A and B are shown apart, each in its own frame.
Chain A
């Protein structure tokens, strides 16, 4: 029987003094539910507002032979048309390495590549106009799959290897050997708000840019570069995104640049908003991977040697792929000590959109192969996969060095798994499942527990910095600006809590401004789960600077020692005397004390020598574990996640409700990646799944009826992070691997009679009903062959 789903400390009924550690509601919650929250496309349009549409390539590989845009130019409402020739400044907007032409006039590298752009008086007229282009191509055979790329040695960046010990020799020496392949599908971000930017020319030849971007500083830089103007002429303002998930880290900039070029040309405000199908066709996705393993292990399933080969499909350009495949490699150990290990990552170049950042940034793909290995070993040895996972966990005092030679220091894994296993009654449910399976001919259940260990820090060291600006006004209200962007993750709420905590004042006094490049310069992208870790520290730093000034002033004003001054619940106690926070601020103003300060933070301790693949790329690890129970229909391949139990470590939570929201949302998004979200290209390289009618992200019935999420208690981060919390954006995404693992278990459970030793369940992802049915048939066929043979 189904139970009410529940979660710890969720309802926000406590309206009393709110600060760090409380489930403060999202700062925009009331604006969200009333429709007042303004997204980039919602801003009032000004006189002369133009709208943009982009002309796309309709081949995946080749050259443009000829291009006739005359009908486009004369189409109703069209004001301007631009091609590559209209770009005054840089025309390559590659984020790290070159390779991303803003428009192409010759080489075409993927179906959907931007060739020209139109500004017209309405969105519809712009869309109609682009359809009138006449472009002739010289087509060549596209490279569309990882296999094709490997065969041609088509790489976007050189391969890279991490190793420790001698894997080949150890595999050979081990009692058991196994090898296997796993194809992991890509994933469309499907942010509900598509790519959008709005640009207004300014008096000095610059641009005011509103862009739905996780990286406003880079939008500023690239807009300036394509227009060949100094960075200080461009201001980017980013209030909120309707979802980002990594898809707006690098790939929001191009659209703002196109709008800026058109705005420069027309000297009119220009907006660009991609229709869903254009967005899905033109922007990169999570990297599909094809991974291979060769492993040697003992009778209890302990790995003695392992070779891993990870082939990431990067699409046509480097974008962030070097770092993404690296992060896949950094996470190919997940929570397991790999004695004698070699991990190689290939960056395959294909004729598809340039794959990009997506929650987990390669980490999920890396973890999938090692979790696959755990299941395969368990099936091979006839053990419970949990037993094999436990046997391979990183140790506390030994067996604690990663393949990249970082020591795993804050290891809660065994403790967390034991707690979760007990709370969720794993053993009892396994027994119940065996009974259910014996009594049901067509429906079968499976259960699995998978852990997560995720490294926190940008692996590009320089990005691990942040700035903030706090302006305090004479009524005691405070405006906080910081380099991070709000995309729903509750970053601004946490920042407001942190600043309120520093001054010990009500959170209502704090307003977090839109992210603006003229408030906080050179900010890193809001990515790598680092938003609160970095910007929280920077905001705290700025607040503490002002607080110190107020303390110094109070000490002088009341003639007390600064040690005797306490900020407490909107009151400042100075020895025996008290003054309200507002009064103090006013007095400080008249005493000519500066009420504004910047703040700054850089992450300590991290370093990495990539050449030798050694170092400490991560400040710390975030950890979690989940148990999933699934039901499959062996006649149709349909399935359902019946129950999910999660225990996750966020250190000392700054906001439990927001953290639980990230965990639940990440888990369901991860489940979508592994189950129903299937990207489908035709043989010409054209993406066919270009909307929610064909690309199925989880809907409400996909969420499990019983969904228990618990935060690990009393687990302050041992590193001095902001209030000893841990990053939470990405790590929970990978908790969903337990759904896939439970599906494999259920498929294995579909076999009648005694299981033949050494059977494997091949289940590539996304594990659609079709793939599940195929796996069921394949394992049944293998069993038959095994019995007959």
Chain B
């Protein structure tokens, strides 16, 4: 076994991680090992953003004409990120932004707009703003936005999406939003842009050998395989090891549950798992593709799916979390499985050299139990491309609009011909121990005419499909009632010709201008 170490750039400085607990989070590494106390622990569960830092990585520009390497910047919750995520990346924390006495534009905007009060959440907001600033179109476009209401709305949405994973208990957010706008309007070239070429070459040097990396300490191990075959071998060799994709749920067992994971296999460096490909009828999404990375494609194919993804976790969570992890985790309240089930998506499962194909629907057996065999892992998710004759409706119901776990997630995929329902797939999350089809409800609809009686019958049948639980998010009664009402809402939206009538509280009707 290779004994290559985790290496990364701490700002400009090459760091090698040795003798660290493989279960250590990046936040604890920063605070306890590096004595960098700017990043704060607010929750240790990835829900408040006070620990936000940014990872820069080398990527190829997607513009086919000029294949140019560039740095992409992603905000992460360091409190739920294990050290493996650092390998081959540049880690930037709040301490890195200031140059001499000059504050970075995002810092200056926060000061000028009175964006901090107690200041504890501020480093996290600053890093989210930095990431937002790096990922938004240039200031030029936003200067134009000042005169264009559509663009301005889009900018406001971008800001909300970029900051939804950062909680502030003091300001009420208006001042921070003002700072975000101001920061977006600056075209300052920062030190990271000036040093990009050198950063890229330093980062490429780390991963040049493309060897497997490992970290062993305190009787625990972390493996970071570099190829699919290495991964397949490792999973067979250590069937009890935990597979680490985004880790946004797995890390909670350590930070909240005080678990000690003996063996971790991190998927982040397996190139094959981070690929997206398309054929005529199918999108193939590698198991390690983050929500963020497939968001644009899924939005193109299924706008409703894309819109829902904006409400899955936060930018930090979507930068880390993966479609494969969401399925593999088998939570009854994962947001993508009901959609994947309704769309008839399939999984490519791999064990050793063998692969097999299983529908997402049949993957889930019981609460947190799946068809995955020992030594087997999810290689990719195969999603059929959209059928223009069919309509997809996705509804996420939660207590809070931003960064909340679904109370109920409903997905309807149907085809109407002359008001007759000729095809229908309905799946729900949060209504049973697993994400599940509503067969009786589908039966009540199939072949029927879209009319109030049909909808009433479908609503009534839902009580036979599900017996939801009561928990901290909602009562069983509410879950059932809202699930029924969503059937009504779905058909109302389908029948609604006028675009002037809003149907959703979260203004879904606003089209994003900068998706391209």
Return the contact of B501 from the options A39, A440, A705 (Cβ within 8 A). A440
Other A-B contacts than A35-B95, A639-B505, A694-B472, 12 sampled, CB-CB below 8 A, are A1-B149, A4-B152, A11-B112, A25-B114, A26-B119, A31-B119, A32-B123, A192-B48, A637-B478, A638-B506, A669-B172, A701-B164
Return the contact of A678 from the options B111, B395, B399 (Cβ within 8 A). B399
Whether A5 contacts B112 in the complex (CB less than 8 A), given A32-B119, A38-B37, comes out as no
Contact, CB under 8 Å: B111 / A25: yes
CA distance A242 to B94 in the complex (A): 17
A-B contact pairs, 30 of them (CB 8 A): A4-B152, A5-B177, A10-B113, A10-B178, A12-B113, A30-B107, A30-B111, A33-B107, A33-B110, A33-B126, A35-B94, A35-B126, A44-B35, A124-B258, A127-B258, A192-B48, A192-B118, A241-B118, A442-B503, A635-B485, A661-B172, A665-B169, A692-B45, A692-B167, A694-B473, A697-B169, A698-B173, A699-B167, A700-B160, A700-B166
Whether A700 contacts B111 in the complex (CB less than 8 A), given A26-B116, A33-B116, A632-B505, comes out as no
Whether A701 contacts B103 in the complex (CB less than 8 A), given A191-B169, A440-B502, A633-B505, comes out as no
Return the contact of A635 from the options B122, B176, B489 (Cβ within 8 A). B489
- Mask of A304-316 contacts with B, CB within 8 angstroms, 1/0: 0000000000000
B103 vs chain A, min Cβ distance (A): 7
Q: Give the contacts of A424-464 with B (CB-CB under 8 A).
A: 439-443
Return the contact of A692 from the options B43, B114, B171 (Cβ within 8 A). B43
Q: Does B326 contact A (CB under 8 A)?
A: no
Interface residues in chain B, defined as those with a beta carbon under 8 Å from any beta carbon in chain A: 35-45, 47-48, 50, 93-95, 97-98, 103, 107-108, 110-123, 126, 149, 152-153, 156, 159-160, 163-164, 166-178, 256, 258, 395, 397, 399-405, 407, 471-475, 478, 481-482, 485-486, 488-489, 492, 501-506
Contact, CB under 8 Å: B117 / A661: yes
Contact, CB under 8 Å: A661 / B401: no
Contacts of B156 in A (CB 8 A): 2, 705
Q: Does A13 contact B (CB under 8 A)?
A: yes
Interface residues in chain A, defined as those with a beta carbon under 8 Å from any beta carbon in chain B: 1-2, 4-5, 7, 10-13, 23, 25-26, 28-39, 41-42, 44, 124, 127-128, 131, 189-194, 240-245, 275-277, 439-443, 487-490, 631-633, 635-640, 657-658, 660-661, 664-669, 676, 678, 680, 688-689, 691-694, 696-703, 705, 707, 709, 768-770, 773-774, 777
A457 vs chain B, min Cβ distance (A): 24
Contacts of B38 in A (CB 8 A): 34-36
**Main DSSP-derived SS at the B contact region:** loop
Return the contact of B489 from the options A42, A442, A639, A678 (Cβ within 8 A). A442
Contact, CB under 8 Å: B400 / A39: no
Contact, CB under 8 Å: B47 / A693: yes
Contact, CB under 8 Å: A668 / B397: no
B255 vs chain A, min Cβ distance (A): 9
Contacts of A190 in B (CB 8 A): 167, 169
Contact, CB under 8 Å: B505 / A443: yes
Contact, CB under 8 Å: A702 / B401: yes
Whether A697 contacts B482 in the complex (CB less than 8 A), given A42-B37, A691-B256, comes out as no
Contacts of A667 in B (CB 8 A): 172
Whether A23 contacts B118 in the complex (CB less than 8 A), given A443-B503, A701-B164, comes out as no
Return the contact of B258 from the options A33, A128, A777 (Cβ within 8 A). A128
Contacts of B471 in A (CB 8 A): 688
Contacts of A28 in B (CB 8 A): 116, 119
Contacts of B149 in A (CB 8 A): 1
Contacts of A240 in B (CB 8 A): 118-119
CA distance A35 to B97 in the complex (A): 10
CA distance A441 to B488 in the complex (A): 12
Contact, CB under 8 Å: A488 / B123: no
**Main DSSP-derived SS at the A contact region:** loop
CA distance A697 to B50 in the complex (A): 14
Return the contact of B399 from the options A32, A440, A696 (Cβ within 8 A). A696
Residue among B108, B113, B400, B492 with the highest chain A CB neighbour number at 10 A: B400
Contact, CB under 8 Å: A39 / B120: yes
CA distance A194 to B41 in the complex (A): 9
Return the contact of B114 from the options A658, A688, A691, A696 (Cβ within 8 A). A658
Whether A442 contacts B492 in the complex (CB less than 8 A), given A42-B37, A242-B120, A640-B401, comes out as yes
Return the contact of A693 from the options B45, B103, B163, B478 (Cβ within 8 A). B45
Return the contact of B175 from the options A13, A276, A635, A661 (Cβ within 8 A). A661
Whether A29 contacts B116 in the complex (CB less than 8 A), given A636-B486, A700-B166, comes out as yes
Residue among B98, B114, B395 with the highest chain A CB neighbour number at 10 A: B114
Contact, CB under 8 Å: B167 / A192: yes
CA distance A767 to B5 in the complex (A): 52
CA distance A665 to B176 in the complex (A): 11
A696 vs chain B, min Cβ distance (A): 4
A410 vs chain B, min Cβ distance (A): 26
A771 vs chain B, min Cβ distance (A): 9
Contacts of A131 in B (CB 8 A): 258
Contacts of A669 in B (CB 8 A): 169, 172
Residue of B nearest to A664 (CB): B172
Contact, CB under 8 Å: B119 / A691: no
CA distance A665 to B173 in the complex (A): 8
Contact, CB under 8 Å: A193 / B481: no
CA distance A240 to B471 in the complex (A): 37
Whether A12 contacts B112 in the complex (CB less than 8 A), given A192-B118, A693-B45, A699-B400, comes out as yes
CA distance A26 to B117 in the complex (A): 7
Contact, CB under 8 Å: A631 / B505: yes
CA distance A667 to B118 in the complex (A): 17
CA distance A591 to B172 in the complex (A): 51
Residue of B nearest to A11 (CB): B112
Contacts of A441 in B (CB 8 A): 492
Whether A488 contacts B505 in the complex (CB less than 8 A), given A2-B153, A193-B40, A242-B40, comes out as no
Nearest first, the 8 A-B pairs at minimum CB distance are A35-B38, A488-B118, A242-B120, A32-B119, A668-B172, A488-B117, A692-B47, A664-B172
Whether A691 contacts B47 in the complex (CB less than 8 A), given A37-B119, A240-B119, comes out as yes
CA distance A12 to B407 in the complex (A): 42
B305 vs chain A, min Cβ distance (A): 19
B246 vs chain A, min Cβ distance (A): 16
Contacts of B152 in A (CB 8 A): 4
Residue of A nearest to B32 (CB): A122
Whether A439 contacts B501 in the complex (CB less than 8 A), given A192-B48, A696-B399, A700-B402, comes out as yes
B403 vs chain A, min Cβ distance (A): 6
B144 vs chain A, min Cβ distance (A): 15
A635 vs chain B, min Cβ distance (A): 4
Contacts of A4 in B (CB 8 A): 152
Contacts of A660 in B (CB 8 A): 114
Contact, CB under 8 Å: A5 / B174: yes
Contacts of A42 in B (CB 8 A): 37
CA distance A32 to B117 in the complex (A): 9
Contact, CB under 8 Å: A636 / B110: no
Residue of A nearest to B46 (CB): A693
